[in-house]
Each structure stands twice: as structure tokens, then as C-alpha cells.
Amino acid sequence: MYWPTNSPPPPDLPRQILQAHMLTSAYVNEFLVDQHPYRKGHVCPFVKSSLIIEGVVFSFVEATDGTELKNQVKQRIQEYLDFKSDFQETQSSMVILFPASFSERTLVKLQLSLKAYCIKREIMIGALYPNSTAPSLHSEDYFPLRTPTPTLVLRDLVPMDILFLTQDRHHSVSKIGFLKEYIQKFSDHPSKIVRDKVQEARQARRALRRFLIIRGGAVLLTIAITSVSLGAYFAL
């Protein structure tokens, strides 16, 4: 189930979700289209035009933990993929609401566990919540991802997302996989700026592969030295 962000929610939603919608609606419909304090343009450059054509929708998840929670989010991901097929030439997104009491730690773990799943489908998944410490790209003192209640946001993968595919919190193997999908999606892009980003992605992927090879060799060398040392010790 989903509905446009600039429309009233279904009246039969769970009470906690109705409350979350009431609080988060202003964030989407007002805050994100306001002037960014540290650069020209809106806080989110894509939302205003998407709102006009109802390309931004709300949805929600009722489960709070375990396998059922992850399965429900995957259902929302599939719903978003079906929805966004009508918006190929424009940006679309889905804001998945959670109760205000939902654990922010669980939200972040859920987002990280589903990131590869989403990127393989050429979409991004973000965790937005009241105490987010993720700063704006333009100021370390500005935190635009702080929503009134915990949410997950699904949206199209865009060229600037290369910044989020190589973050230190991701394992090198995961980052290589992310970059592979990025390169496949944008390698034939008509814009030279985007093709330059693709070249950056290729270079980053090569560097990560070299790092893994070197680290793997170091691990094997350590094992070999340890084995020789233990053999010498027990031979005494």
C-alpha cells in the first residue's frame, strides 16, 4: 500500500503510522523543497518536481523485528519498483514510515542489510531518523536527514551516489559490488560529467581489488610465518 505524499493518508492506517505520517509529511512537502542554506536550490533538488507529478509516495511497515520486518520492507521495495516504472524520465521515491518508537539502531542495521539488494535493482535505500549524524555534503553543521520519525527512503540511483557507495562503513567486497552496478548503469550515459564519474568508479574498484589482493597475500604470509614458528617451537 502507498499513497502520494501530498494526499491524505488512508484513514484505516494504524494509529502510530498516522502519527508518523502527520509529523513526516511536513518534512517531505515543506522542508525538502525549502531553500538549502549552504548552496543554491532546494534542500533536495529532485523533490519539488516529483511532488508535482505525484512521483513521491508514502508507505509503511508494521513489523518491528526479525525476518518479518525484512520481508515487509522487501515487499515495499518491489512495490516501489513497480511504481517507479511509470517515472523513467523523472525522479521518484518512496518514504516508508515506522512508528516514532521504532529503534533507530534497528533501522540503520536494516538499511545496511538491504543496500546491496537495492543497488542490484538500481535504487538507493536511505535511513532517516531524528538523531541522524549524517551531515550535508555542503556543511558539517547541517543535518538534512533528520526526520521527525524513523523512515526508510527508496529512490533512483543517480550519478552523485558514487559518494555513498565507497563509505568506510561498507566492506571492500561490498563496495566492489556497489561500484559494479554503478558502472553498468551509467557507463553509456550521454553526459561527459557522468562518464567521468564512471571512470572514477572504475579507478576506485581497481584500487579496492588491489587492496584485497595485497591484504590476502599478507594474511597468507602471516599464516605461513606462524606455522613455521609453531613448527620450530614444537621441535624444541
pLDDT at 230 over 80: no
Q: In this predicted structure, what is the pLDDT of residue 225?
A: 44
Model confidence, pTM: 0.86
Strand 93-97 with 56-60, pairing: parallel
Q: What's the first-to-final CA gap in the chain, in angstroms?
A: 71
Mean pLDDT of the chain: 87
- What is the Cα–Cα distance from 62 to 17, expressed in whole angstroms? 8
Kindly state the helix (H) or strand (E) to which residue 3 belongs, with its residue range. strand 3-4
Beta strands in 34-189 (DSSP E): 56-60, 93-97, 123-128, 151-156
More confident: 217 or 57: 57
Contact 48, 132 (CB under 8 A): no
Q: In this predicted structure, what is the pLDDT of residue 218?
A: 54
The torsion angles phi and psi of 109, rounded to 5 degrees, stand at: -60, -40
Query: Which burial class, exposed, middle or buried, applies to 121 when counting CB atoms under 10 A from its CB (0-12, 13-18, 19+)?
Result: middle
pLDDT at 20 over 70: yes
41: left (phi over 0), alpha (psi -120 to 50) or beta: left
Q: In this predicted structure, what is the pLDDT of residue 217?
A: 56
Helix/strand/coil for 194: helix
3-class SS string, 110-144: HHHHHHHHHHCCCEEEEEECCCCCCCECCECCCCC
- What is the Cα–Cα distance from 116 to 81, expressed in whole angstroms? 15
Q: In this predicted structure, what is the pLDDT of residue 221?
A: 43
**What confidence tier does 66 reach under pLDDT thresholds 50, 70, 90?**
confident
pLDDT digits over 67-107, tens only? 899 999 999 999 999 999 887 666 899 999 999 999 999 99
How confident is the model over 5-18, as a mean pLDDT? 90
pLDDT digits over 136-186, tens only? 888 899 999 999 999 999 999 999 899 889 888 888 889 999 999 999 999
pLDDT at 41 over 80: yes
Whole-Å CA distances, 152 to 60, 89, 146 = 9, 23, 12
**What DSSP character marks residue 42?**
B
